[in-house]
Amino acid sequence: MKATTVSEMRELDRTAIEKFGIPEEILMENAGEAAYFALSKEFGIRGKRFLVFCGMGNNGGDGFVIARKIHSSGGAVKVCVLGDPGKFRGAAKLNFHILSRMPIQVRQIETVESLTTELTHTDAVVDAIFGTGLTRDVEGFYGEVIERINGSGKVVLAVDIPSGVHGDTGKVMGTAVRANYTVTFGLPKVGNLLYPGYDLCGKIYVTHISFPPSMYDAVPCEINKPPGLPPRDKRAHKGDLGEVLFIAGAASYFGAPYFAALSFLKAGGGYSRLAAPRSITPFIATRGSEIVFVPQKETAAGSISLENKGALIELSEKMDMVVLGPGLSLEEETQQLARELAREIHRPLLIDGDGLTALCRDLQILKERKAETILTPHLGEMSRITGIPVPEIDLQKVEILQRAAQELHSIIVLKGAHSLIGYPEGGVFINLTGNPGMATAGAGDVLTGTIAAMFGLGLSIPDAVRKGVFIHGFSGDLAAHMEGEDGITARDILDYLPLAVKMDREGIDEEFKVRYEGPVVI
């Protein structure tokens, strides 16, 4: 399923109206009908009381349609207009006038105190206040109304997106409605799918409001639903399931190389080689004896020395993929080594952690690489790569990710809740697996090994990245389900990888499947 930014959705609306001749009134009627259907399905209508809050834009117009349909189906409904009804325009104005002729109480709300009784004596609330067009923080009167809705304890259905949630980022603009259900129109918005907006939406429905499917062809962003894994060859030996070299680790950084190299094996990979400083290799070996070690000469600081460059390049030519960077250290000699290796290794290369920091000094290396390159930054590392401050990236994740992937000729996994995967051709995938408990040291190192394993199991590099991100998050969800989100460690994510791969092959439990499918289509 595709997902849009707010500006892309406006363009889709314009196209529907101007190219296909679908009147705005029909689009609004279809939107209201779908929201009403979800409310009826999830909560019921006849004999129940509803309070519909309508803002001054088309979101409010959708609310008028919903109120009318509640009334026609035997529900008791009251409409609270937050503003001057004389300012309605277009389809919203038309639906306000229709509603005003019906025996439905419609009143303009000027003080929040007057809402106390109304909220006490209703069964459910419809939030049709702002929608996706919000561009500034909610405060004052509107903020107080939202706080009253949240404090009422009533079931809430949000129209398009909970009021106060930014349509592109999922960020809360001052304050926001916490909905039990959200019905979004055309396509889900990016803000419906990124935290905290995703959490505030509750269960998400989407209705295409009669948009022709061809309109979605040019939308570059979609929910990550990666292809299935190829069957595991019963005659395969370890070399058939991927050989990966991990160049990682330094004094005091034992965990990162261990988690990266072992997660490759736990997720199904065949042959994991770890090039780590000689002095730390015995300690890692006591925990990960399944790893094949390639001890490296060290700098005085205990990181991998530049002296190893020739041997590492020679070894890399025998590998299916190279992973560079987990726990590598910021020691200058090792950072130089990372840059030179990235320039001269001709195999698919996944760069993470300190490897990303090294390449930020010379991004031209990435632009000139011929083999496929994968970068797995968190927001801080993405800031260093792009030179854009973190808050600005947070406001334009999709656009900045697209631009960076294209400019660097790299597949980029922007880690977070939810992670985004950007491709050089412009496509972006939103991954729905994972949970807040995975915000823990070492989780990103497990991701690198999981992506490499998906390549070893037979997927193409682009598909392996999508699959790896999905399986990594799924493993974290299994860990959270069994252990609870609090206290999840990278070791827990690592330990659940075999089960995640097994369930992915055999069929994911319905509880998880529904969540990962994304919005339910009406």
Q: Which pLDDT score, from 0 to 100, does residue 240 have? A: 73
Q: What is the pLDDT of residues 108-131, one digit of tens each?
A: 998 898 898 899 999 999 999 998
Query: Percent of the chain, pLDDT > 70?
Result: 100
- Residue 41: partners with Cβ closer than 8 Å, 6 or more residues away: none
- Residues whose CB falls within 8 Å of the CB of residue 247, separated by 6 or more in sequence, listed in order: 275, 304, 312, 322, 323, 324, 325, 328, 338, 341, 355
Q: Please, are residues 246 and 451 in contact by the beta-carbon 8 Å criterion?
A: no
102, 68 in Cβ contact below 8 A? yes
Q: Is the pTM of this model over 0.75?
A: yes
What is the reported pLDDT for 421? 98
Where residue 317 falls (left for φ over 0; alpha for ψ -120 to 50; beta otherwise) is alpha
pLDDT given for residue 239 in this prediction? 77
In this prediction, residue 352 carries a pLDDT of 97
Surface-to-core class of residue 190, CB atoms within 10 Å of its CB (0-12 exposed, 13-18 middle, 19+ buried): buried
Return the pLDDT at 511.
87
Dump strand ranges (E) for 264-310. 271-275, 292-293
Three-class DSSP labels, 221-250: EEECCCCCCCCCCCCCCHHHHCEEEEECCE
Half-sphere exposure of residue 439, counting CA atoms within 13 Å on the CB side? 9
Give the span between the Cα atoms of 100 and 98, in whole angstroms: 5
Question: Would you state the pLDDT for residue 235?
Answer: 81
Kindly tell me the burial class for residue 513, based on how many C-beta atoms sit within 10 Å of its own C-beta (0-12, 13-18, 19 or more).
exposed
Contact 205, 34 (CB under 8 A): yes
The pLDDT tens digits of the residues spanning 22-48 come to 999 999 999 999 999 999 999 999 999
Q: Which of 183, 184, 182, 186 is closest to 216 using CA atoms? A: 186
Average pLDDT along the chain, 522 residues, taken 10 residues at a time: 95 94 96 97 96 96 97 97 94 96 93 89 97 91 96 97 96 97 97 96 96 93 96 79 96 95 97 97 94 97 97 97 97 98 98 97 97 97 97 94 98 96 97 95 97 97 98 97 94 98 94 92 94
Q: In angstroms, rounded to a whole number, what is the distance separating the alpha carbons of residues 41 and 338?
A: 56
Instruction: Answer for the pair 79, 64: CB distance below 8 angstroms, yes or no.
Output: yes
